[in-house]
Amino acid sequence: MAEFLKRVDLIFGEYSDQKYKTLEKTMKRPNDDIIKDILDSGLRGRGGAGFPTAMKWKFTMEQPGDEKYVICNADEGEPGTFKDREILSKVPRKVFAGMAICGKVIGAKKGYMYLRGEYRFLLPGLLEEINDYNEMAKELGIDFTIEIRMGSGAYICGEESALFESMEGKRGEPRNKPPYPTVAGYLNKPTVINNVETFVNVLMICRIGPVQYKKLGTRDSRGSKVFSVSGDTPIAGIYELELGMPLEKFVEEFGDGDTKAVQVGGASGFCVPRKKFKDTIIGFEGVPTGGSMMIFNSSRSMYNVLHNYLDFFEEESCGQCTPCRVGCQQLRKGIEAVKRGDKPITYLEQLMKLSETMKITAKCGLGQSVANSFSSIVNNFREEMIY
């Protein structure tokens, strides 16, 4: 195996010999020390956006009031992502321990996990583990309980403010920002919302310390990351790798020898063509990813890939703001028209402008990120869009 692709066994590593040992130890430490450790570790959110976790926690900690919430975002809906499912079925205890640490630091008494409807089959196992946690918390005198809320099949609810709306029983439509969740989140109270994997990372930092943790990854992308590898690869599945590796090495390892392009970060991520594999780093300094790595070989039509993504966005757009609602539709109709020959090739430029406009004007991450895959596919595979 190439030296760049060091496999890591941090997230999926075994539980400590004693249940919730790290949590028990961490509970005795001062909050500022814990925040400092997480800040030192360089941990950035694992959902895809990559906001520094320590800052999020600190902002929420500094908010007045004692009604605060910790929410674990398990609404993993990005096409090509399935790592949270694996984490929740293999090491759920680590997630709950991470949430409890967060609860202690920010001063919250209540945590929720928002689980996507498609993962309903995980519920019995998770409930068992949560009961176990809640009992343990009572014994240790930890004033923080956890509950699960189910989603019902809406991609947009992975967006944090849409998730709050959904938890409050409303349509999952994103809110205006600011205020950010750290100030007004669930029920308009200060809320920390993190990805499943982020909470596990926090626990591992508390267990092994920031110095050890920092040895993994690069300056801008510390630690390891769980990747969901799918598409044209003989070894699809879940892999925990160090961040900051060149895409070329990744393709060498996972590709089928005929890789044409890799979609990094799912439908809302970027499409990297073969000629750019060499110069592309997987991490926050290059192309960031929430873990989704979809590999396409030369038998695939990138037009079909883009069409599939646009279909996806069109359906999952919440319809609240015009740029996204109408934009997704027009992009799809536009590429269809160019393909049919009803519109001239130059029409692609107009569509490109439209996607840029969506990036600036859409209300939330969904509409803003459509341009990522649209422009990276159209720019790099222009001829496939036309013929």
Partner 1 sequence: MPILQGVVEQNNYISDLDMTEIAKELDLSAAQVFGTATFYSFLDTIPRGRFVIRVCKTITCDMHGRKMIVQTLENLLKIKVGETTQDKKFTLLETNCLGWCHKGPSMLINHEVFSELTAEKVHEIIAEYMHK
Does residue number 151 form part of the binding site for partner 1 (CB under 8 A)? yes
* Structure tokens belonging to residue 331: 């992009």
Among 197, 232, 242, 248, contact with partner 1 (rule: CB under 8 A): 232
Which C-beta is closer to partner 1: that of 44 or that of 83? Answer: 83
Classify 181 as helix, strand or coil.
coil
Q: Which of residues 330-349 bind partner 1 (CB under 8 A)?
A: none
Which C-beta is closer to partner 1: that of 54 or that of 74? Answer: 74
* Structure tokens belonging to residue 266: 């799912």
Classify 145 as helix, strand or coil.
strand
Name the region of 237 (left: φ>0; alpha: ψ -120 to 50; beta: rest). left
Does residue number 92 form part of the binding site for partner 1 (CB under 8 A)? no
Among 20, 57, 82, 250, contact with partner 1 (rule: CB under 8 A): 82
Cβ-contact 245, 1 below 8 angstroms: no
- Number of CB atoms found within 10 A of residue 384's CB: 18
Among 5, 27, 183, 236, contact with partner 1 (rule: CB under 8 A): 236
- Residue range at the interface with partner 1 (CB under 8 A); choices 16-24, 133-141, 305-313, 378-386: 305-313
Among 118, 220, 252, 336, contact with partner 1 (rule: CB under 8 A): 118
Among 318, 348, 354, 370, contact with partner 1 (rule: CB under 8 A): 318
Alpha-carbon dihedral 321, 325, 326, 332, rounded to 10 degrees: 150
Among 96, 112, 144, 155, contact with partner 1 (rule: CB under 8 A): 155
Min CB(315)–partner 1 separation in Å: 6
Does residue number 387 form part of the binding site for partner 1 (CB under 8 A)? no
Among 45, 172, 210, 223, contact with partner 1 (rule: CB under 8 A): 172
Among 35, 154, 243, 245, contact with partner 1 (rule: CB under 8 A): 154
Angle separating helix axes 92-106 and 53-62, nearest 10 degrees: 40
Cβ-contact 293, 227 below 8 angstroms: yes
Run of H or E including 88:
helix 83-90
Say how far apart CA 320 and CA 19 lie, in whole Å. Answer: 45
| Cβ burial, residue 107 (10 Å; 0-12/13-18/19+) | middle
Does residue number 77 form part of the binding site for partner 1 (CB under 8 A)? yes
Min CB(128)–partner 1 separation in Å: 16
Which C-beta is closer to partner 1: that of 167 or that of 282? Answer: 167
Listing DSSP states for 349-384 in one string gives: HHHHHHHHHHHHH-SSHHHHHHHHHHHHHHHHSHHH
Does residue number 169 form part of the binding site for partner 1 (CB under 8 A)? yes
Among 91, 102, 184, 229, contact with partner 1 (rule: CB under 8 A): 229
Name the region of 26 (left: φ>0; alpha: ψ -120 to 50; beta: rest). alpha
DSSP 8-state secondary structure symbol assigned to residue 195:
E
Does residue number 119 form part of the binding site for partner 1 (CB under 8 A)? yes
Say how far apart CA 198 and CA 345 lie, in whole Å. Answer: 44
Among 170, 177, 215, 353, contact with partner 1 (rule: CB under 8 A): 170
Does residue number 89 form part of the binding site for partner 1 (CB under 8 A)? no
Min CB(73)–partner 1 separation in Å: 14
Cβ-contact 122, 128 below 8 angstroms: no
Among 152, 188, 322, 379, contact with partner 1 (rule: CB under 8 A): 152
| Cβ burial, residue 211 (10 Å; 0-12/13-18/19+) | exposed
Say how far apart CA 225 and CA 239 lie, in whole Å. Answer: 8
B/e letters for 118-139, b = 16+ CB within 10 Å, e = fewer, are ebeebeeebeebbeebbebbee
The contact pattern for partner 1, residues 261-300, with x = CB under 8 A and - = no contact, is ------x--------------------------x-x---x
- Residue range at the interface with partner 1 (CB under 8 A); choices 132-140, 165-173, 174-182, 356-364: 165-173
Does residue number 253 form part of the binding site for partner 1 (CB under 8 A)? no
Which C-beta is closer to partner 1: that of 153 or that of 179? Answer: 153
Interacting residue ranges for partner 1, rule: CB under 8 A: 76-82, 85, 116-121, 149-155, 166-167, 169-173, 228-232, 236-238, 267, 294, 296, 300, 304-305, 308-309, 311-312, 315-316, 318
